[in-house]
A and B are shown apart, each in its own frame.
Chain A
Amino acid sequence: MRTLLKLCCGVGALALASCASTDVAPIETGASPDVTTDEAGLWQQMDKYEQALRTSALLERDPALNAYVRGIVCDVAGTDYCEDLRIYVVNRPYFNATMAPNGLMEVWTGLLLRAENEAQLAFVLGHEFTHYKNRHSLKNWRKAKNAANASLLVSIGAAAAGAGGASELGSLLALSALYGYGRDLEREADMEGFAYVTAAGYDGSQAAVLWQNLVAEVQASQSKRKKRRFARSSIFSSHPLTKERIATLQGLAADLSPGKRNEQDYIGATAPFLAQWLDDDLVRRDFGENLFLINKLIERGDMLGTLFYAKAEALRLRRGEGDMVKAEAAYLKATKFSDAPAKAWRALGDALRRKGDTSGAITAYQIYLELNPAAVDRLVVENFIKTHALEG
């Protein structure tokens, strides 16, 4: 027992002596950390991650899209800081962007699919840039280190006092403090990010709109658990409650005159990827959210061939009561628009064939092969047409 107490003091003294400061100044432009610091270690690990990311199959390499996103980052972060940032568009169908301490920023295509205009995207980019500028990764790391040491002290102290169970409490308290700290950093990123975005002339009101859209999407989710988790906060939440964020952002925007949204530029820049991103979004298999998103984009009124095809696919895959009938109608609708993919005709053919409309199916298949003469399934489709045309 006495040994444990002594140990507690010994480790305590050393751990506290090495308690890392989370009070760090914002990073300067062009700066990189001294090689002997913990920050250099973080950078080194992220450099390694970045090297792997550069060969990743998930990377979207389209030069035009990358230049477009980078342009908005530079607009928000300013040209000096922009030179320190490397931005990667990553094909992941989730609403997210990430920022690493070494200047690596990931923008996920799930975010690009959901943002409605430049102002909304710019807000997220400003938020991420704040994480970089204010060195939030370093602060978080140091906080985690201090919390782990503190938790260790509580555990040894508890063991010395003969209260083993209290050691669990020690880790729990340390962990919740850590998450609380993380939420404070997120609030800071929201506030500063908002300031950068509005200073660059973007419409600040769009920041809250982005979150409101996300709330509506989650409300449409088919997962009760997901809805519950989203609406409730816990001491282990990594981000502040979305309701709180919306209220804060609306408050910030209230006194400001509206700025630019650049909606048409945004739609133009993302249009070539819409079909792919919708396809990827279906991989999430949350048909409530998938359909919510598609219907919202349909309201916009263009690329309807692409969108109705995606809607039909979601319905077909959901396979709920009456979904096949709705899917067939959506395939048919998609084929009325010039941007419908060739495979919409193929899918329409399949749907008609399934309900016994062979001649309708043959017509759809023929158009499919005309539009896509190099189709990989050409022989199969031709064989169907030949066999059933003879029967007819």
Chain B
Amino acid sequence: MRAQYIARSPRIAARLLGGEMIVISAEDSALFSLNDIATAIWLAADGRTPLREIVEQRVCAEYAVDPETALRDAEELVRELSAHGILLSSDQPFPDAA
């Protein structure tokens, strides 16, 4: 299975508000509120770390959750956020990632 890399879109606005990440899409001005786990994945989306590693380090290490279930849920989250243009996803690391 090929690795999946994720990066935060530069087209969004975002702020952590009381532990909850608020993200606004530039495409349609839609406002998203990310829960704890989604926020942890969002913050770790550096474009270089594979999603599986992010899930292991930021989700499984912090929350009592089965790794395969956590990865499936994370992939679903990435699909949803990518569809709104607020997260970028690729099977290669992002060259401009910080």
Chain A complexes with chain B? no
Q: Which A residues are within 8 Å of any B CB, using their own CB?
A: none
